A and B are shown apart, each in its own frame.
Chain A
Amino acid sequence: MAQPKSELKKGKGAKAMSRLPFLFIITGIVGFVMYHAFSLLSLTGWLGDELRGPEGWFHAHLFVLGWATMLAMGAVYQLIHVILQTNIYSTVLGYCHYFLFTVGATGMLIGFIRTDVIWIAGSATLALSGILLFGLNMGITLYRASIWNPVTISAACACLYLVLTGLSGMLMGLNFAFGDWNGLHQRLFGAHIWMGTLGWFGMLITGFSYKMLPMFYLSHDFSIRLQKMVLVLWNAAVITGVIAFLTGIQGGLLWFALLLLTGALICYVYHLEQIQEKRHKSNPGPGIRWTVYVSRALLVYSMALLIYSAQDVELLLDSRVVLLTGWVYLGGWVSLTILGYASKIVPFLWWTHKYGKLAGRPGTPLMAGMLSEKRINHGILAMVAASLLLVSGILINLAEVMMVGGTLLSMISIVYISNIALVFRR
């Protein structure tokens, strides 16, 4: 039977679209392996240092751009249809975004190694162009779909914060090159990190979790009131923090931002419980279960930090507290959540690519059979244990413990991601 022309066109578009998330996710996996390989090669010596200087910037940007943002962008391209029931506005823009961002991020990393300002500036411009294209593509897609709910608004806010993070980074670069606003550099630096970590990753993870968790738990009929609360409180925390950094009124305002964030986390974690209560599937997969556990852990840390810093709000800016918080938030919550979701997203992408047209036919494997649940569970458990050892080392300021924890974390992480990547051989 001849296939209708419209269906052929749709099929072709869908196939082209499926390659875009693949590109980002595979590149993100490569970035993740490189990050941990470089950590091992440097004998994890940089782990306990502040993120200042080219070596710290190299590791931080490899982690944030090469791994976490790269994979998160792939997840956005993959899941945009799920949250909006429409495809991304332009796949071509998506490919341009991939090219500019990947080349730019790679160039920035080379620039940090060479300590070459021209390399860094040129590459950062390319990476920022990629981010702007991504923001434009997502903005048009969201505007055209005009489906506004906590999931889509969170995604829109996340993209906006990503664009602002890129712009503030570029402003810092310009300031570094021309050096006219010395007082502003430090303020921009704080706002840049705050918007990137809390704004981009925070809004994206919380927003997408409202869709991902019910999908894998098969949850229905739960209230979304708390999603709206999280959206308001989380945004308020981001904006308050940015104001705190930009105005230089840091201590008190930052503590207030942390209070707002803790409120948002309480609502978020409670909402995850509500989703689980309304589930109709007992096992969503270990990767999904771990995303819930690490969210609870982040809430506990946030509450502890709030109480600890209540005695003196300036403690929030103490270099060891900043380092510890960075590891708990980025190395813990953000990274482990992405790794947990990756254990579902990667097999799904590969299964639909390879077996999608064979569904229903004898011998076609189930998606669940693509990746061993036991290995995923043990892998994340081991990464959590190594991360705890690492943060304990930072907490007690013992370099040996940090080194053992960091080395174990890198080794286990490489094994874990290799296990996920092996799906492509199935």
Chain B
Amino acid sequence: MEQTSQLLEYLKEVYDPELGVNIVDLGLVYEVKEEPERIQVRMTLTTPGCPLHDTIVGAVKWVLQKNTDKTDIDVQVVWEPQWSPQLMSREAKEMLGYF
């Protein structure tokens, strides 16, 4: 559990460059788990076909490689369940002027 929390903290370094909010607070990360040989990330994007797909996936890999001893980072971008604004944290909503 603690391990997952730490990985999520690392992933908070990855920002959606258009929205200016990190992907964890945006609710884009569905699951992250560390295995003996690799780290698996299951995540989504705010809209299918998001033009920042490669950029965000690349940043996730780079951040996890930098902060852990793993080089094999498996990032799966999924569309089910679909992302919804309800998944955003309060901080993210405030940053976007949601309230």
Contact = CB atoms under 8 A, between A and B. Distances in A.
Contacts of A280: 85, 88, 93, 96, 98
Contacts of A1: 71-72
Contacts of B72: 1
A282 B50 contact: no
A281 B17 CA distance: 14
Range class of the B interface residue count: 20 to 34
Interface in A348-391: 348, 351-352, 355-357, 359-361, 366-368
B29 interface: no
A82 interface: yes
Contacts of B50: 82, 215
Contact of A352 (B47, B55, B62): B55
Contacts of B84: 220-221
B82 to A, nearest CB: 9
Q: Chain B contact residues: over half helix, strand or loop, or mixed?
A: loop
A255 B62 CA distance: 59
Interface in A77-116: 78-79, 81-85
A359 B96 contact: no
A14 interface: yes
Interface in A325-363: 348, 351-352, 355-357, 359-361
Interface in A262-311: 280-283
Given A218-B96, A280-B96, A359 B14 contact: yes
Contacts of A82: 47, 49-51
Interface in B41-74: 46-52, 54-56, 58-60, 62-63, 71-72
B18 interface: yes
B15 A356 contact: no
Contacts of B51: 78-79, 81-82, 348, 352
A283 B58 contact: no
B25 interface: no
Contacts of B47: 82, 214-215
B97 A360 contact: no
Contact of B49 (A81, A220, A360): A81
Q: Chain A contact residues: over half helix, strand or loop, or mixed?
A: helix
A366 B98 contact: no
Given A215-B47, A359-B58, A367 B97 contact: no
Given A82-B49, A281-B97, A359 B19 contact: no
Interface residues of A, number: 31
B20 A85 contact: no
Given A218-B96, A352-B55, A357-B58, A368 B63 contact: no
B6 to A, nearest CB: 16
A281 B19 contact: yes
Given A81-B49, A218-B46, A367-B17, A359 B97 contact: no
B49 A359 contact: no
Interface centre among A79, A82, A83 (most CB of B within 10 A): A82
Contacts of A282: 96-98
B62 A360 contact: yes
Interface centre among B15, B60, B72 (most CB of A within 10 A): B15
B56 A359 contact: yes
A214 B47 CA distance: 9
A174 to B, nearest CB: 41
14 contacts: A81-B51, A82-B51, A84-B49, A215-B46, A215-B47, A280-B93, A283-B97, A352-B51, A352-B55, A356-B55, A359-B55, A359-B56, A360-B63, A366-B20
Given A82-B50, A221-B84, A281-B96, 20 more contacts: A78-B51, A81-B49, A81-B51, A82-B47, A214-B47, A218-B85, A280-B88, A280-B93, A281-B97, A282-B97, A282-B98, A351-B17, A352-B51, A352-B55, A356-B54, A359-B15, A360-B13, A360-B59, A360-B63, A366-B17
Pick the 5 closest A-B CB pairs, nearest first: A282-B97, A360-B59, A359-B59, A280-B85, A82-B49
